[in-house]
Amino acid sequence: MSNERINCSGLLHASLIVADTGRALAFYRDILQLPVVPDRPELGYPGAWLAVGRQQIHLLELPNPDPVEGRPAHGGRDRHIALAIDELEPLVRALEQQGIGYTLSRSGRRALFCRDPDGNALEFIEQPGPVSP
């Protein structure tokens, strides 16, 4: 084993498998308001890249090797992506308006979990930004 230091400095993107890119975009782009990254290269399969601050979520329209059914009702007990959000209330209103279920964090933090149309779990943790004077 080498004694050289390996320095991972950040998470650049997370990939999620989806059955239908258009349906997934209706959730991520239209409900969550994540901007689509326009320069996704042609990869031989449909998909989309979405900006989350300086990071990205990559939607991959590929056959899903994982079961979609039988996942825990609470996304905190499943593999998930955690995203920082300034305020939970606008997200709660958007999810409720679209009839999308969610659960609150069981840790006591200001956070909630929901699932996208393909059953991928997402956590949103309230982390207010700096207050302008």
Q: What is the mean pLDDT of each run of 10 residues along the chain (133 residues)?
A: 88 96 98 97 97 97 89 91 96 97 92 96 89 56
- Tell me what pLDDT residue 129 has: 72
- Tell me what pLDDT residue 3 has: 85
Of the CATH numbers 3.30.2320.50, 3.10.180.10, 3.40.50.300, 3.40.50.720, which one belongs to the domain with range 13-63+71-126? 3.10.180.10
pTM of the model: 0.90
Q: How far is it, in rounded angstroms, from Cα 48 to Cα 115?
A: 18
Distance spanning both ends of the chain, measured CA to CA? 52
- Tell me what pLDDT residue 49 has: 98
What residue ranges do the domains of the chain occupy? 13-63+71-126
Which residues 6+ apart lie within 8 Å of 114 measured at CB? 75, 95, 100, 101, 102, 103, 121, 122, 124
